[in-house]
Amino acid sequence: MWTEVRILLINKRFPGGPQTILGPAGCGPDVAVLDEVANCTLVTLDERDERLPLLLGLLKEYDKDWTLRRRDRFTDEELEAARLLVVRYWALPGSIFAGPRVGTTYEMSEACQRCGAGARQTSALVVDGKELHVLEGRRAAATCYDDMLVDEKLAGALAESGATGLSFRGVFAAFEKRGHFQLPWRQLCATHTLPPMSPRSTGVGPYLPCPCARSSFETFEEVPLRLAYRASDVTDIRDVNVTWEWFGEVGFEGDVSNALFPYPFFLVTPKVWRIYRDAGVTEFDWIPIRVVDE
């Protein structure tokens, strides 16, 4: 395992361009990638790289013109040996907008009435038709609510694998004046929820705790996400699971159609990771959980 540092620079906000910062720090094309469409530059460094403190020192005078994210990186052998892997989507085009505000419906009888944690989806997934470009050229992606999407071929491979704890829903695009149209994608749904994570987890915590204690968890960009579970919590896992905790912002006042729901994280076995890997999917982080005795 090693820790990767990714720094995203908004090109137009640097007088003279980002090269005025990257050059003095010695960050060339081996670590800096220009995205002309998004007009940004992504710099990827090992946390131990001597260029990192130089670059951060030069960036200190620029407020909010750059973002930094640390994440742990693993070898295939480490991923194969994991009990479970946290699935995190990361791609420059971002996540496609979806959920209740676009038309996806939910049943709330067993959900928290203050935050919506535990809401049960009852319809196909509806995504914003204006954002379909986010899915172009991809085999798999995620929505802003961490709904997992795969194309039909990858969905077939997952189904044929016999992966446990997995079901599928259809995916529709909503257009303001044209209605809903079905897409050649499938939503992955988990049938199994793990117990609450161990307090020895790091890089995660509640920012606006709800009385249900289940929602408003967040991750911290500058601290790698490292979820921990007790050994007894992972004795009855499936190939596809979700966390008991729900993450992200909350905006729910009783009207589901206007809600901003939190969402659980997906945790899968290496079996699922291998299927994604063999399909050439590269836009996801796969993070082994830690199993602890306590």
> Please, which pLDDT band fits residue 11 given cuts at 50, 70 and 90?
very high
What pLDDT score does 172 carry? Answer: 98
**Domain identity same for 53 and 163:** no
**Domain identity same for 69 and 196:** no
pLDDT of 93 higher than 90: no
- Going by DSSP bridges, is the β-strand pair 217-219/204-206 parallel, antiparallel, or unpaired? antiparallel
CATH number, domain of 20, equals 3.30.70
> Please, which pLDDT band fits residue 6 given cuts at 50, 70 and 90?
very high
- Residue 144's nearest CA partner among 180, 185, 99, 206 is 99
What pLDDT score does 293 carry? Answer: 82
Cα separations (Å) of 235 from 89, 228, 232? 26, 14, 6
What pLDDT score does 37 carry? Answer: 77
Percent of the chain past pLDDT 70, that is, above it, reads 99
**Domain identity same for 142 and 17:** no
pTM of the model: 0.88
Residue 211 or residue 64, greater confidence: 211
What pLDDT score does 49 carry? Answer: 98
**Domain identity same for 96 and 241:** yes
Identify the residue whose tokens are 């079996």: 271
Dihedral in degrees, nearest 10, Cα atoms 78, 244, 97, 158: 50
Least confident of 60-64, 142-146, 259-263, 271-275: 60-64
**Domain identity same for 214 and 271:** yes
Least confident of 34-38, 160-164, 166-170, 258-262: 34-38
> Model confidence over 196-254: pLDDT tens digits?
999 999 999 887 789 999 998 999 989 999 999 999 999 999 999 999 999 998 999 88
Which residues contact residue 12 at a Cβ distance below 8 angstroms, ignoring those fewer than 6 apart?
39
**Domain identity same for 26 and 58:** yes
Which residues contact residue 76 at a Cβ distance below 8 angstroms, ignoring those fewer than 6 apart?
277
**Domain identity same for 226 and 108:** yes
Q: Which of 33, 50, 73 is the last residue of a domain?
A: 73
**Domain identity same for 88 and 217:** yes
Average pLDDT score, the chain: 94
**Domain identity same for 270 and 283:** yes
Average of per-residue pLDDT across 121-150: 96
What pLDDT score does 149 carry? Answer: 98
Residue 128 phi/psi, 5-degree rounding, is -75, 120
**Domain identity same for 31 and 166:** no
What pLDDT score does 23 carry? Answer: 96
**Chain-centre distance for alpha carbon 176:** 27
Judged by DSSP in three states, 143 sits in strand
What pLDDT score does 202 carry? Answer: 94
Range of the domain at 38: 2-73
> Please, which pLDDT band fits residue 150 given cuts at 50, 70 and 90?
very high
Residues 206/218, Cβ–Cβ less than 8 Å: yes
Residues 186/152, Cβ–Cβ less than 8 Å: yes
**Domain identity same for 164 and 44:** no
The total number of structural domains that make up the chain: 2
Residues 239/165, Cβ–Cβ less than 8 Å: yes
Residues 55/21, Cβ–Cβ less than 8 Å: yes
> Please, which pLDDT band fits residue 5 given cuts at 50, 70 and 90?
very high
What pLDDT score does 204 carry? Answer: 93
pLDDT of 87 higher than 80: yes
pLDDT of 127 higher than 80: yes
How far apart CA 123 and CA 148 sit, in angstroms, is 15
Q: Which of 73, 105, 124 is the last residue of a domain?
A: 73
